[in-house]
Structure 1
Amino acid sequence: MDLNDYQLQARTTARYPDVGANPIYPTLGLCGEAGEVADKVKKVLRDRGGVFEPQVVEDLALELGDVLWYVSQLASELGLGLDDVAQANLAKLEGRARRRTLGGSGDHR
Protein backbone atom coordinates (compact mmCIF):
# COMPACT_ATOMS: atom_id res chain seq x y z
CA MET A 1 0.00 0.00 0.00
CA ASP A 2 1.17 3.51 -0.81
CA LEU A 3 1.72 5.62 2.30
CA ASN A 4 -0.16 8.63 0.97
CA ASP A 5 -3.10 6.39 0.04
CA TYR A 6 -3.08 5.02 3.58
CA GLN A 7 -2.99 8.57 4.94
CA LEU A 8 -6.00 9.63 2.86
CA GLN A 9 -8.01 6.55 3.84
CA ALA A 10 -7.04 6.82 7.50
CA ARG A 11 -8.09 10.47 7.54
CA THR A 12 -11.67 9.48 6.78
CA THR A 13 -11.80 7.73 10.16
CA ALA A 14 -10.47 10.68 12.21
CA ARG A 15 -12.93 11.56 14.97
CA TYR A 16 -11.42 13.97 17.47
CA PRO A 17 -11.91 17.61 18.44
CA ASP A 18 -11.00 20.16 15.77
CA VAL A 19 -9.82 17.69 13.11
CA GLY A 20 -7.71 19.72 10.70
CA ALA A 21 -6.50 22.18 13.33
CA ASN A 22 -5.42 20.02 16.26
CA PRO A 23 -1.94 18.47 16.23
CA ILE A 24 -2.05 17.95 20.01
CA TYR A 25 -4.66 15.18 19.99
CA PRO A 26 -2.83 12.86 17.58
CA THR A 27 0.47 13.62 19.33
CA LEU A 28 -0.97 12.43 22.64
CA GLY A 29 -2.57 9.42 20.95
CA LEU A 30 0.77 8.53 19.37
CA CYS A 31 2.46 8.61 22.76
CA GLY A 32 -0.24 6.40 24.24
CA GLU A 33 -0.09 3.83 21.46
CA ALA A 34 3.72 3.75 21.48
CA GLY A 35 3.47 3.11 25.20
CA GLU A 36 1.15 0.18 24.56
CA VAL A 37 3.70 -1.30 22.13
CA ALA A 38 6.45 -0.84 24.71
CA ASP A 39 4.32 -2.42 27.43
CA LYS A 40 3.61 -5.51 25.33
CA VAL A 41 7.32 -5.90 24.53
CA LYS A 42 8.18 -5.43 28.22
CA LYS A 43 5.78 -8.22 29.12
CA VAL A 44 7.42 -10.51 26.55
CA LEU A 45 10.70 -9.95 28.37
CA ARG A 46 9.15 -10.35 31.82
CA ASP A 47 6.68 -13.18 31.24
CA ARG A 48 7.85 -15.06 28.14
CA GLY A 49 11.64 -15.05 28.44
CA GLY A 50 11.93 -12.76 25.42
CA VAL A 51 10.11 -15.17 23.11
CA PHE A 52 7.72 -13.43 20.71
CA GLU A 53 5.02 -16.05 20.21
CA PRO A 54 2.69 -15.71 17.21
CA GLN A 55 -0.21 -14.28 19.25
CA VAL A 56 2.06 -11.61 20.74
CA VAL A 57 3.33 -10.69 17.28
CA GLU A 58 -0.26 -10.47 16.05
CA ASP A 59 -1.18 -8.22 19.00
CA LEU A 60 1.87 -6.05 18.34
CA ALA A 61 0.91 -5.73 14.68
CA LEU A 62 -2.46 -4.30 15.75
CA GLU A 63 -0.78 -1.83 18.12
CA LEU A 64 1.72 -0.81 15.44
CA GLY A 65 -1.23 -0.14 13.16
CA ASP A 66 -2.60 2.23 15.80
CA VAL A 67 0.81 3.94 16.00
CA LEU A 68 0.77 4.33 12.21
CA TRP A 69 -2.74 5.82 12.34
CA TYR A 70 -1.67 8.47 14.83
CA VAL A 71 1.53 9.23 12.87
CA SER A 72 -0.66 9.65 9.82
CA GLN A 73 -3.06 11.98 11.62
CA LEU A 74 -0.25 14.09 13.03
CA ALA A 75 1.34 14.37 9.60
CA SER A 76 -2.02 15.43 8.16
CA GLU A 77 -2.46 18.03 10.89
CA LEU A 78 0.97 19.44 10.01
CA GLY A 79 0.30 19.41 6.27
CA LEU A 80 2.83 16.66 5.61
CA GLY A 81 2.44 13.65 3.35
CA LEU A 82 3.58 10.29 4.73
CA ASP A 83 5.49 9.55 1.53
CA ASP A 84 7.46 12.77 1.99
CA VAL A 85 8.09 12.03 5.67
CA ALA A 86 9.32 8.52 4.82
CA GLN A 87 11.54 9.73 1.97
CA ALA A 88 13.06 12.46 4.14
CA ASN A 89 13.76 9.91 6.86
CA LEU A 90 15.53 7.56 4.44
CA ALA A 91 17.59 10.44 3.04
CA LYS A 92 18.58 11.46 6.58
CA LEU A 93 19.60 7.91 7.46
CA GLU A 94 21.52 7.44 4.21
CA GLY A 95 23.43 10.66 4.93
CA ARG A 96 24.24 9.47 8.43
CA ALA A 97 25.38 6.11 7.08
CA ARG A 98 27.68 7.86 4.59
CA ARG A 99 29.12 10.03 7.37
CA ARG A 100 29.21 7.07 9.77
CA THR A 101 27.05 8.91 12.27
CA LEU A 102 24.18 6.44 12.59
CA GLY A 103 25.17 5.94 16.24
CA GLY A 104 25.19 8.76 18.69
CA SER A 105 22.55 11.36 19.39
CA GLY A 106 21.21 14.59 17.99
CA ASP A 107 18.87 15.34 15.12
CA HIS A 108 21.47 17.03 12.87
CA ARG A 109 24.47 14.69 13.06
Structure 2
Amino acid sequence: MDLNTYQQSARTTARYPDVGANPIYPTLGLSGEAGEVADKVKKVLRDRGGVFDAAVREELKLELGDVLWYVAQLASELGLSLEEVAEANLAKLASRAARGRLRGSGDHR
Protein backbone atom coordinates (compact mmCIF):
# COMPACT_ATOMS: atom_id res chain seq x y z
CA MET A 1 0.00 0.00 0.00
CA ASP A 2 1.32 3.45 -0.78
CA LEU A 3 1.20 6.30 1.71
CA ASN A 4 -1.47 8.35 -0.01
CA THR A 5 -3.79 5.36 -0.34
CA TYR A 6 -3.34 4.70 3.37
CA GLN A 7 -4.06 8.36 4.15
CA GLN A 8 -7.25 8.36 2.10
CA SER A 9 -8.45 5.10 3.63
CA ALA A 10 -7.60 6.22 7.16
CA ARG A 11 -9.49 9.46 6.60
CA THR A 12 -12.73 7.53 6.16
CA THR A 13 -12.46 6.42 9.81
CA ALA A 14 -11.82 9.89 11.26
CA ARG A 15 -14.42 10.61 13.94
CA TYR A 16 -13.50 13.64 16.00
CA PRO A 17 -14.86 17.17 16.44
CA ASP A 18 -14.62 19.40 13.38
CA VAL A 19 -12.88 16.90 11.07
CA GLY A 20 -11.37 18.95 8.27
CA ALA A 21 -10.77 22.01 10.43
CA ASN A 22 -9.18 20.66 13.60
CA PRO A 23 -5.42 20.01 13.64
CA ILE A 24 -5.33 20.08 17.43
CA TYR A 25 -7.21 16.81 17.99
CA PRO A 26 -4.88 14.65 15.86
CA THR A 27 -1.86 16.44 17.31
CA LEU A 28 -2.91 15.47 20.81
CA GLY A 29 -3.74 11.95 19.68
CA LEU A 30 -0.34 11.61 18.05
CA SER A 31 1.37 12.68 21.24
CA GLY A 32 -0.62 10.18 23.28
CA GLU A 33 0.01 7.27 20.93
CA ALA A 34 3.73 8.06 20.70
CA GLY A 35 3.78 7.98 24.50
CA GLU A 36 2.16 4.53 24.43
CA VAL A 37 4.90 3.30 22.07
CA ALA A 38 7.57 4.72 24.36
CA ASP A 39 5.94 3.14 27.41
CA LYS A 40 5.87 -0.32 25.79
CA VAL A 41 9.54 -0.01 24.81
CA LYS A 42 10.40 1.14 28.34
CA LYS A 43 8.69 -1.93 29.77
CA VAL A 44 10.65 -4.19 27.39
CA LEU A 45 13.83 -2.74 28.85
CA ARG A 46 12.57 -2.98 32.43
CA ASP A 47 10.73 -6.30 32.37
CA ARG A 48 12.13 -8.30 29.46
CA GLY A 49 15.83 -7.50 29.51
CA GLY A 50 15.51 -5.60 26.25
CA VAL A 51 14.19 -8.61 24.32
CA PHE A 52 11.60 -7.72 21.70
CA ASP A 53 9.87 -11.05 21.21
CA ALA A 54 7.11 -11.70 18.66
CA ALA A 55 4.31 -10.76 21.07
CA VAL A 56 5.90 -7.43 21.95
CA ARG A 57 6.63 -6.67 18.32
CA GLU A 58 2.98 -7.36 17.47
CA GLU A 59 1.83 -4.97 20.23
CA LEU A 60 4.24 -2.33 18.96
CA LYS A 61 3.04 -2.84 15.40
CA LEU A 62 -0.49 -2.00 16.51
CA GLU A 63 0.65 1.05 18.47
CA LEU A 64 2.77 2.26 15.55
CA GLY A 65 -0.31 1.89 13.38
CA ASP A 66 -2.13 4.24 15.73
CA VAL A 67 0.76 6.70 15.46
CA LEU A 68 0.57 6.47 11.68
CA TRP A 69 -3.20 7.05 11.73
CA TYR A 70 -2.78 10.27 13.72
CA VAL A 71 0.09 11.43 11.47
CA ALA A 72 -2.19 10.85 8.49
CA GLN A 73 -5.03 12.80 10.11
CA LEU A 74 -2.78 15.72 11.03
CA ALA A 75 -1.34 15.82 7.53
CA SER A 76 -4.88 15.82 6.12
CA GLU A 77 -5.91 18.63 8.45
CA LEU A 78 -2.92 20.66 7.20
CA GLY A 79 -3.66 19.94 3.54
CA LEU A 80 -0.57 17.77 3.12
CA SER A 81 -0.26 14.32 1.63
CA LEU A 82 1.75 11.68 3.46
CA GLU A 83 3.75 11.23 0.27
CA GLU A 84 4.86 14.86 0.24
CA VAL A 85 5.65 14.70 3.98
CA ALA A 86 7.78 11.57 3.41
CA GLU A 87 9.51 13.06 0.36
CA ALA A 88 10.32 16.28 2.23
CA ASN A 89 11.74 14.25 5.12
CA LEU A 90 13.98 12.18 2.85
CA ALA A 91 15.16 15.33 1.05
CA LYS A 92 16.00 16.95 4.39
CA LEU A 93 17.94 13.88 5.53
CA ALA A 94 19.78 13.56 2.21
CA SER A 95 20.81 17.21 2.45
CA ARG A 96 22.09 16.70 5.99
CA ALA A 97 23.97 13.56 4.96
CA ALA A 98 25.58 15.35 2.02
CA ARG A 99 26.74 18.12 4.34
CA GLY A 100 27.84 15.75 7.12
CA ARG A 101 25.15 17.12 9.44
CA LEU A 102 23.15 14.02 10.39
CA ARG A 103 24.37 14.32 13.96
CA GLY A 104 23.59 17.23 16.18
CA SER A 105 20.32 18.94 16.99
CA GLY A 106 18.00 21.48 15.51
CA ASP A 107 15.67 21.34 12.54
CA HIS A 108 17.76 23.52 10.25
CA ARG A 109 21.19 21.85 10.34
Same fold (TM over 0.5): yes
Give the secondary-structure state (helix, strand or coil) at the position aligned to 1:70. helix
Q: Hey, what does 2:25 align to over in structure 1?
A: 25
Letter matched to residue 53 of structure 1 = D
Partners in 1 of 2:39 and 2:30 — Cα distance?
14
Q: Hey, what does 2:75 align to over in structure 1?
A: 75
Residue pairs, 1:49-64, within 5 angstroms: 49-64=49-64
Give the secondary-structure state (helix, strand or coil) at the position aligned to 1:100. coil
Residue 50 of structure 1, CA deviation: 0.3
Residue 28 of structure 1, CA deviation: 0.2
1:90 matched to 2:90: yes
Q: Hey, what does 1:12 align to over in structure 2?
A: 12
* CA RMSD, 1 decimal: 0.3
Residue 46 of structure 1, CA deviation: 0.1
Partners in 2 of 1:76 and 1:50 — Cα distance?
36
Partners in 1 of 2:44 and 2:53 — Cα distance?
9
Partners in 2 of 1:106 and 1:35 — Cα distance?
22
Give the secondary-structure state (helix, strand or coil) at the position aligned to 1:16. coil
Runs (5+) with no aligned partner, structure 2: none
Per the normalisation by structure 1, the TM-score is 0.99
Consecutive aligned runs of 4 or more in structure 1 exceeding 6 Å deviation: none
Give the secondary-structure state (helix, strand or coil) at the position aligned to 1:85. helix
Percentage identity across aligned positions?
81
Q: Hey, what does 1:35 align to over in structure 2?
A: 35
Partners in 1 of 2:50 and 2:2 — Cα distance?
33
Residue 13 of structure 1, CA deviation: 0.1
